A and B are shown apart, each in its own frame.
Chain A
Amino acid sequence: MRRREEVRTPPRLARRILAVLVGSRHADDVGPALSELYRERLERDGRRTAGRWYWRQVAGFGLRWRAFNTGGRGRGTMDAWTRDLRLAIRSLTRTPAFTAVAILTLALGIGANTAIFSVIHGSLLRRLPYAEPDRLVWLSDGHPSFGGTGVDESVPNLTDLRAGSKLMRSSAIYRVLGGNVATGERAERIPILFASSEMLGVLGIPPALGRDLLPGDDNVDAETVTILTDDLWRSWFGADPKVVGRTVIVDARPVRIVGVLPPQFAFPGEPKLLLPLQHVGADLSRRNRGYFGVARLAPGADVAGLRAELQGIFARLEKAYPEANEGWYTWAEPLRDYVVGRNQRSLLLLGGAVALVLLIACVNVANLLLVRAETRHHELAVRYSLGARRSALVSLFLGEGLVLSLAGGALGMASAYWGVDLLVALYGGTLARADLIGVDGLVLAFGLATTLLVGLAVGLVPLLRLRPDDLREFLTDGARGASVRGSAVGRVLVVAEVALAVLVVAGAGLLANSMWRLQRVELGVSDPERVMTFTMSLPAAAYPDAAAIGGFADELGARLQAVPGVRVVGLVNRLPLLGGDNTNVTVFGDPTREADFTSVRLVTPGFFAAVGVSLVAGRWLHDAEFRGTTSSVVINQTLARRLFGGEDPLGRRIDPHFLDGGLVVVGVCGDIAGGRPDRPAPPAFYFPLATALQLWASQPRQANDYWGMSALVRADADPRTSVPAFRRAVAAIDASLPVSDVRTLQDIAVDRLGTRRFAMSLFGVFAGLALLLGSVGIYGVMSFAVAQRSRELGMRLALGASRGSVLRLVLGQGARLTAPGLILGLAAALASARVLGNLLFEVSPLDPWTYTLVAGVLTLVALAATSVPALRATRVDPVTSIRGE
């Protein structure tokens, strides 16, 4: 009975709000009438519609009723408010220097917070643009040698996992690869999502135009079709609604467009085109890893359960196919973790750092307001004695706090608007979903909420000083009685400020130390800024055999060499400093001595000179070895050490499992760093491209296969100026072949530091802000303290104290203010430094040098901030200061 009654009444919260809005005088009248109308609508339109109607009515009362009914009273409140605000503005404009400092301080804090929040919101918090994204799972592989999970898997393994699982409602296999895409007008190398036909169904995103991929499209001999992303459809085809049925050329093969994706489609790797994998019926090796899976959980299933199920299936696959699966394990994690995971820690850390900066800014402004309240004691006491109620004084201070924070917030949010664009321009490449980062309604709401909170906080702190007793005392005692408690509050604030600054600066110090070490890690290349690199992918359709690829390589090498200013040209299957293209290598005839994940580098004669790697032992490869067939190989120091330990590797044979009889080591070269900046250089061997091509010439190449080739061009001067000539050289050989990733070796070295660089630079900026704000705080309090004591100091000087002793006195007071903050801050930093986790490189979170340096810097800053008022104290004129009373 009661339950039924409950259901027939309007939403409770709305009813409560209505009661407050209309007031007790009309509540008996309006409430029941509105409930009656609600019930009519409930029966006619259902609960949801009626509920919405009721809320609309309540909102209407909020707008109309109060304006009409409370008449004079409501207007009176508004009047009081505008009067307070006007008063606040007037009194703030009387002290323009104070006001400017306070507004700028808050603008820095709020602006930085808004900017970082917009990055966190776009990159981390936004839901993935799929149906029920929480039910999506990402499938990958793991191997201890790769340092964990997230490694690619093979199609046969994924197919078996899918077939055996009961906890996946649907799943798809995919890989994202660059492809050469061309229409009549343009050719570019762009990322392509190769996926089994279930992909869009799993994600829950049907095409906006045309059809989805069909199971038939997966067959290896089916006609190749494609679905465009909205972005590509607009930029390449002018959003032509008749695009379905047209043809694009992908890797030199015609591909028919069958659909267009909706604009919200997004996928890691930012693919612009969706093509079927065409793996059904293809003879794919289990060792050919390079694929991932996406699955939607079955109803009731969870990620942990799925992971356990898949690992059970994989245990059987490991037994059945040990040559491909031994030592590997399979892994499932929420798709969201995969998409945003790489940024999570650094972004949250930055969020924490920037929040600390805002806290410092607030403490600072509160402190300034407190000092200001001190100087206005007389005014306030008079107001109080004239009958101003405490609430009036409260609203006066709140008004000032709000005016300051609103001005600072407006300035801060405006700068955040531009700042975010700058951040994305500088670091967009290292952030997940950078295209989603921007200032939108939610970000502005965040900024506004922060602003109001800050206004309340800084406005209320001076009220700690405003007990009626103090004011009365002030009136009777004059200036002498003041500032006992005020300065106590002020001191606490400065101590807090210094401690917070130490915390931020210590974090920045540890990160900077790591960055410094990372940048000093030997790359193994010389003058990387002189070496321009770019990459081409030779599609099998146009370059079907070794002769075609070799011919292209020869001609490209010659044409690039002919460009003025070019010293040497090297070609390679994959650039140094990037990792990738690995194989397992053993000592020939001794499979127990092996080196996993050895980089395979197939090179032309100029490669070693172009990279600038040094020879450690033996010799380089001869020209003849680069032309004919050879079994000679150059290995790096790490591979030599892994395979041969202390023994001499020269003349020994290694087995990379592609040539009967193995390869003979003729030289050992220096190590070149791999793709991970925090890992030691990987083992590598260097083998002539020409011989490698002949070895593989007999093997048939799949239609959608391609041969990756990168060029390294070492120039006499800045190689950037020659980029157009390099592009012309490629176009002269094959006009339809796109050139991608044009950058210097130095750019690659910088880019691989990725998110660390982002986190480090911003942390550095925030540390600078914290120091600046902290010193302003110390300066403010010390200035005020000196001003307060000017009579006493003047007296001391008049009685014969030396200026030096007065200076020491004031500096000592400053030190007593800074030292507790420094100690507290260092303790907090030591306790919390572990959150920096793997962002640190070869630096302990408790690194003594960093903390010593931080303490030193803080001490210097505090000394500088104190010395200005201290020097002022020594110049106090005794006569003036005593007569001033």
Chain B
Amino acid sequence: MPPTVLGQFEHQVLLAILRRGSESYSVEVVDELERHTGREVATSAVFVALQRLKAKELLDDRLVEPGDEGGHARRYFRLTDGALEAMRDSRQSFLSLWRGVESALDEPGA
């Protein structure tokens, strides 16, 4: 099976889930992304990404019914083994592209 190519936003969504621990649901992903990017994230983009990642079998999901305290059902997402592999590839290709040109990021005169 050819390696799954991740889009940048998909990569970010997977990272957000990874950072949250074992599994997380949509609201937590949105919060995590906004906290780290410092920008407003379009929730629709997150939902679309979650569905697409699930279709690529990079995410598993399960529906958790609300407890006694009320609320609503939440769909929790968990990374599959394939997800970790795809993230590793994606990270690797990024790092190798950066190798040797990091100095461009140095502040001028520093």
The interface of chain A, by Cβ under 8 A from chain B, is 26, 28-30, 32-34, 36-37, 40, 53, 56-57, 60-61, 63-65, 68-69
B17 near A: Cβ within 8 Å?
no
**8 contacts across the A-B interface (CB closer than 8 A):** A29-B73, A32-B71, A32-B74, A33-B43, A40-B31, A60-B44, A61-B43, A68-B52
B44 touches A57 (CB 8 A): yes
B72 near A: Cβ within 8 Å?
yes
Asked whether A32 and B43 contact (CB < 8 A) given A68-B51, A68-B52, the answer is no
B27 near A: Cβ within 8 Å?
yes
Q: How far is the CA of A65 from the CA of B45 in the complex (A)?
A: 8
B95 near A: Cβ within 8 Å?
no
Q: Which residues of B lie under 8 Å from residue A32 when comparing CB positions?
A: 71-74
Which of B42, B43, B51 has the most chain A CB atoms closer than 10 A to its own CB? Answer: B43
Asked whether A34 and B75 contact (CB < 8 A) given A65-B48, A68-B52, the answer is no
Q: How far is the CA of A28 from the CA of B40 in the complex (A)?
A: 23
CB < 8 Å neighbour of A60 from B25, B45, B74: B45
B26 near A: Cβ within 8 Å?
yes
B1-51 residues at the A interface, CB under 8 angstroms: 25-27, 30-31, 40, 42-45, 47-48, 51
A65 touches B47 (CB 8 A): yes
Asked whether A64 and B45 contact (CB < 8 A) given A33-B27, A37-B30, the answer is yes
CB < 8 Å neighbour of A57 from B42, B72, B73: B42
Shortest CB-to-CB span from B95 to chain A, Å, is: 30
A69 touches B51 (CB 8 A): yes
Q: How far is the CA of A57 from the CA of B30 in the complex (A)?
A: 12
> Which residue from chain B places its CB closest to the CB of A58 in the assembled complex?
B44
CB < 8 Å neighbour of A28 from B25, B71, B73: B73
Q: How far is the CA of A40 from the CA of B35 in the complex (A)?
A: 13
B44 touches A64 (CB 8 A): yes
Shortest CB-to-CB span from A458 to chain B, Å, is: 37
Asked whether A36 and B27 contact (CB < 8 A) given A28-B72, A68-B51, A69-B51, the answer is yes
Known A32-B73, A53-B40, A61-B44; further 10 A-B contacts with Cβ < 8 A = A37-B27, A37-B43, A40-B31, A57-B44, A60-B42, A61-B47, A64-B45, A64-B48, A65-B47, A68-B51
Q: How far is the CA of A53 from the CA of B31 in the complex (A)?
A: 14
Shortest CB-to-CB span from A60 to chain B, Å, is: 4
Q: Which residues of B lie under 8 Å from residue A63 when comparing CB positions?
A: 44
- Interface secondary structure of B, over-half rule: helix
Q: How far is the CA of A32 from the CA of B26 in the complex (A)?
A: 10
Q: Which residues of B lie under 8 Å from residue A69 when comparing CB positions?
A: 48, 51
Q: Which residues of A lie under 8 Å from residue B44 when comparing CB positions?
A: 57, 60-61, 63-65
Q: Which residues of B lie under 8 Å from residue A68 when comparing CB positions?
A: 48, 51-52
Shortest CB-to-CB span from A268 to chain B, Å, is: 46
B72-88 residues at the A interface, CB under 8 angstroms: 72-75
B42 touches A64 (CB 8 A): yes
Shortest CB-to-CB span from A149 to chain B, Å, is: 56
> Which residue from chain A places its CB closest to the CB of B52 in the assembled complex?
A68
Q: Which residues of A lie under 8 Å from residue B48 when comparing CB positions?
A: 64-65, 68-69
Q: How far is the CA of A61 from the CA of B47 in the complex (A)?
A: 9
Q: How far is the CA of A800 from the CA of B15 in the complex (A)?
A: 94
Q: Please give me the 9 A-B residue pairs with the lowest Cβ-Cβ distance, nearest first.
A: A60-B44, A32-B72, A61-B44, A60-B42, A64-B44, A33-B26, A68-B48, A57-B43, A36-B27
Asked whether A29 and B40 contact (CB < 8 A) given A64-B48, A65-B48, A69-B51, the answer is no
Which of B25, B44, B74 has the most chain A CB atoms closer than 10 A to its own CB? Answer: B44
> Which residue from chain A places its CB closest to the CB of B43 in the assembled complex?
A57
Q: How far is the CA of A26 from the CA of B31 in the complex (A)?
A: 20
Q: How far is the CA of A37 from the CA of B51 in the complex (A)?
A: 19
Q: How far is the CA of A713 from the CA of B48 in the complex (A)?
A: 81
Q: How far is the CA of A33 from the CA of B71 in the complex (A)?
A: 11
Which of B42, B45, B47 has the most chain A CB atoms closer than 10 A to its own CB? Answer: B47
Q: How far is the CA of A97 from the CA of B27 in the complex (A)?
A: 60
> Which residue from chain A places its CB closest to the CB of B61 in the assembled complex?
A29
CB < 8 Å neighbour of B43 from A26, A28, A34: A34
Q: Which residues of A lie under 8 Å from residue B47 when comparing CB positions?
A: 26, 30, 61, 65
Q: How far is the CA of A65 from the CA of B47 in the complex (A)?
A: 8
Shortest CB-to-CB span from B84 to chain A, Å, is: 25
Q: Which residues of A lie under 8 Å from residue B43 when comparing CB positions?
A: 30, 33-34, 37, 57, 60-61
Q: How far is the CA of A40 from the CA of B44 in the complex (A)?
A: 17
Q: How far is the CA of A68 from the CA of B10 in the complex (A)?
A: 15
Q: Which residues of A lie under 8 Å from residue B45 when comparing CB positions?
A: 60, 64
Q: Which residues of B lie under 8 Å from residue A30 when comparing CB positions?
A: 26, 43, 47
Q: Which residues of B lie under 8 Å from residue A61 when comparing CB positions?
A: 43-44, 47
Q: Which residues of A lie under 8 Å from residue B25 when comparing CB positions?
A: 33
Q: Which residues of A lie under 8 Å from residue B72 when comparing CB positions?
A: 28, 32
Q: Which residues of A lie under 8 Å from residue B71 when comparing CB positions?
A: 32
Q: How far is the CA of A152 from the CA of B13 in the complex (A)?
A: 72
Q: How far is the CA of A204 from the CA of B27 in the complex (A)?
A: 47
Shortest CB-to-CB span from A508 to chain B, Å, is: 55
Q: How far is the CA of A60 from the CA of B45 in the complex (A)?
A: 8
Q: How far is the CA of A37 from the CA of B35 in the complex (A)?
A: 13
Q: Which residues of A lie under 8 Å from residue B42 when comparing CB positions?
A: 56-57, 60, 64
Shortest CB-to-CB span from B48 to chain A, Å, is: 5
> Which residue from chain A places its CB closest to the CB of B26 in the assembled complex?
A33
Shortest CB-to-CB span from A44 to chain B, Å, is: 11
Q: B51-77: contact bitstring with A at CB < 8 Å (1 yes, 0 no)?
A: 110000000000000000001111100
Q: How far is the CA of A57 from the CA of B45 in the complex (A)?
A: 9
Q: How far is the CA of A40 from the CA of B40 in the complex (A)?
A: 13
Q: How far is the CA of A26 from the CA of B44 in the complex (A)?
A: 12
Q: How far is the CA of A57 from the CA of B27 in the complex (A)?
A: 13
Q: How far is the CA of A36 from the CA of B27 in the complex (A)?
A: 7
Which of A30, A33, A63, A65 has the most chain B CB atoms closer than 10 A to its own CB? Answer: A33
Shortest CB-to-CB span from B34 to chain A, Å, is: 9
Q: Which residues of B lie under 8 Å from residue A64 when comparing CB positions?
A: 42, 44-45, 48
Q: How far is the CA of A811 from the CA of B75 in the complex (A)?
A: 77
> Which residue from chain B places its CB closest to the CB of A36 in the assembled complex?
B27
Q: How far is the CA of A29 from the CA of B26 in the complex (A)?
A: 9
Q: How far is the CA of A208 from the CA of B47 in the complex (A)?
A: 48
Q: How far is the CA of A40 from the CA of B27 in the complex (A)?
A: 10
Shortest CB-to-CB span from B73 to chain A, Å, is: 6
Q: How far is the CA of A68 from the CA of B55 in the complex (A)?
A: 12
Shortest CB-to-CB span from A329 to chain B, Å, is: 61
Q: How far is the CA of A69 from the CA of B49 in the complex (A)?
A: 11
Q: How far is the CA of A28 from the CA of B71 in the complex (A)?
A: 12
Q: How far is the CA of A181 from the CA of B101 in the complex (A)?
A: 67
> Which residue from chain A places its CB closest to the CB of B40 in the assembled complex?
A53
Q: Which residues of A lie under 8 Å from residue B31 when comparing CB positions?
A: 37, 40
Shortest CB-to-CB span from B8 to chain A, Å, is: 16
Q: How far is the CA of A63 from the CA of B44 in the complex (A)?
A: 9
> Which residue from chain A places its CB closest to the CB of B75 in the assembled complex?
A29
Q: How far is the CA of A34 from the CA of B25 in the complex (A)?
A: 12
Shortest CB-to-CB span from A316 to chain B, Å, is: 64
Q: How far is the CA of A314 from the CA of B50 in the complex (A)?
A: 76
Shortest CB-to-CB span from A93 to chain B, Å, is: 40
Shortest CB-to-CB span from B43 to chain A, Å, is: 5
Q: Which residues of B lie under 8 Å from residue A34 when comparing CB positions?
A: 43
Shortest CB-to-CB span from A748 to chain B, Å, is: 63
Q: How far is the CA of A29 from the CA of B74 in the complex (A)?
A: 7
Q: How far is the CA of A34 from the CA of B47 in the complex (A)?
A: 10
Q: How far is the CA of A26 from the CA of B45 in the complex (A)?
A: 15
Q: How far is the CA of A33 from the CA of B40 in the complex (A)?
A: 16
> Which residue from chain B places its CB closest to the CB of A30 in the assembled complex?
B47
Q: Which residues of A lie under 8 Å from residue B26 when comparing CB positions?
A: 29-30, 33
Shortest CB-to-CB span from A48 to chain B, Å, is: 15
Q: How far is the CA of A30 from the CA of B42 in the complex (A)?
A: 13
Shortest CB-to-CB span from B105 to chain A, Å, is: 32
Q: Which residues of A lie under 8 Å from residue B75 when comparing CB positions?
A: 29
Q: Which residues of A lie under 8 Å from residue B52 when comparing CB positions?
A: 68
Q: How far is the CA of A64 from the CA of B9 in the complex (A)?
A: 14
> Which residue from chain B places its CB closest to the CB of A26 in the assembled complex?
B47
Q: How far is the CA of A29 from the CA of B47 in the complex (A)?
A: 10
Q: Which residues of A lie under 8 Å from residue B40 when comparing CB positions?
A: 53, 56
